Amino acid sequence: MPARLFKRRPDSHKGDYGRVLVIGGSPGLTGAVVLSARAALRCGAGLVTAAVPESLQQSVAARSLEVMTLPLPESRPGYLSMRALPLVEKVLEKTDVYVLGCGASQDPDSREFILALIKAAARPMVIDADALNALAGGLSVLSGRKNPGFVLTPHLGEFSRLINKDAALIKQQRKKLVRDFAGQYGLTLVLKGSHTLVSDGKTVYENNTGNPGMATAGSGDVLSGMIAGLMAQGLSGYDAAKYAVYLHGLAGDLAVKDKTQICLIARDIIEYLPKAFKSL
């Protein structure tokens, strides 16, 4: 792990450790945004803002004392909309990295907003959940994007939809397909699952931490926030993804000793991150 993640200057302030913007949320799925934002903070990001449709803002704010919230204009209650694009683009000018897709739903208006933001924004980003679903069938957006750092975090099913290949085939050729996709689009790809893979198109890292108890709702949202939190502190997308995947699994392994596999939930992973960092 880079030494700067463990030792801070005495005269530093929160702005020195990066600004993360988590964009997502829809009716019934606000927890995904909260988990991602909390994980970014727990990994050291100095400032984290959750940007959600305005009718959901109070709900998210009530559960996130350390996370700032940004209400986004909406076309219909609870869903991301193109009406929010000008505001988000303005906020991104003061953002180091953003997470897109957590709990965003597959609403057509939300999909339009997501694709437009990927194409227009010039900031590093982590793409997860429903933003991955929006990309399925629209990968041309990746070729025309402006942002320098780009991390995709699909699980097997999402990756299957992205590349239009059967999941059984992907299991047989995981490393090759992950490396080829990352190289073709010039990004970092994280294929989540048992022995998660991370590739920048040149090398492939295979993770050896984690356990079946982490197969629980919200675990992926926590990982996306962790990656963003490390990127905000100056790590490249590939390095941030590698370290985040390792720490994510390690926190899960530490938590499962107390919580058991059957009782483990996503919040436990965040709770045990300090122990994971300390063990290194």
End-to-end Cα, the chain, rounded Å: 8
Degrees (nearest 5) of the Cα angle 220, 225, 226?
95
**10 within some domain:** no
Q: Is residue 3 part of a domain?
A: no
The pLDDT value recorded for residue 177 is 98
pLDDT at residue number 138: 84
Confidence of residue 133 (pLDDT cuts 50, 70, 90): very high
pLDDT tens per residue across span 140-177: 888 877 777 899 999 999 999 999 999 999 999 999 99
pLDDT in the model for residue 143: 82
Does residue 91 register a pLDDT over 90? yes
User: Whole domain around residue 224: which residue ranges?
Assistant: 17-279
3-state secondary structure of 202: coil
pLDDT band at 57 (very low <50, low <70, confident <90, very high): very high
The arithmetic mean of pLDDT across residues 69-93, rounded, is: 97
User: Does 248 fall in a domain?
Assistant: yes
Residue 214 in domain: yes
* Tokens (6 digits) for 46: 């100095």
CATH number of the domain where residue 57 is located: 3.40.1190.20
Q: What is the mean pLDDT of residues 235-262?
A: 97
In this structure, the chain runs to a length of: 280
Checking if the pLDDT of 89 tops 90, the result is yes
Cβ(26)–Cβ(78) below 8 Å: yes
User: What does the pLDDT read at residue 7?
Assistant: 85
Lowest mean per-residue pLDDT among 73-87, 133-147, 192-206: 133-147
Q: What is the mean pLDDT of residues 97-101?
A: 97
Q: Is 9 within a domain?
A: no
- Residue 11 in any domain: the answer is no
Q: What is the dihedral of CA 174, 178, 181, 182, to 10 degrees?
A: -170
Q: What confidence tier does 28 reach under pLDDT thresholds 50, 70, 90?
A: very high
Query: Which two tokens mark 106?
Result: 């597959």
Report d(CA 250, CA 276) in Å as an integer. Answer: 6
Within a domain: 1: no
| 2 found inside a domain | no
Residue 186: per-residue pLDDT: 93
Distance in angstroms (rounded) separating the CA atoms of residues 219 and 192: 10
Sequence-distant (6+) residues with CB within 8 A of 54 are 71, 72, 73, 74
pLDDT in the model for residue 6: 82
Q: What is the pLDDT of residue 48?
A: 98
Mean pLDDT of all residues belonging to the chain: 95
* Residues 31/62, Cβ–Cβ less than 8 Å: no
Number of domains in the chain: 1
More confident residue, 8 or 272: 272
Please tell me the distance from the alpha carbon of residue 274 to that of residue 280, in angstroms, as a whole number.
10
Helices 108-120 and 85-92 pack at an angle, to 10 degrees, of 30
Q: What's the mean pLDDT in 44-61?
A: 97
User: Edge-to-edge strands of the sheet including 204-206?
Assistant: 68-72, 47-53, 19-23, 97-100, 125-127, 150-152, 188-191, 197-199, 204-206
Q: What are phi and psi of 39, to 5 degrees?
A: -65, -40
Are 51 and 127 contacting, i.e. CB atoms less than 8 angstroms apart?
A: no
Amino acid at 116: A
- Write down the pLDDT at residue 233: 96
Q: Is a pLDDT exceeding 90 seen at residue 58?
A: yes
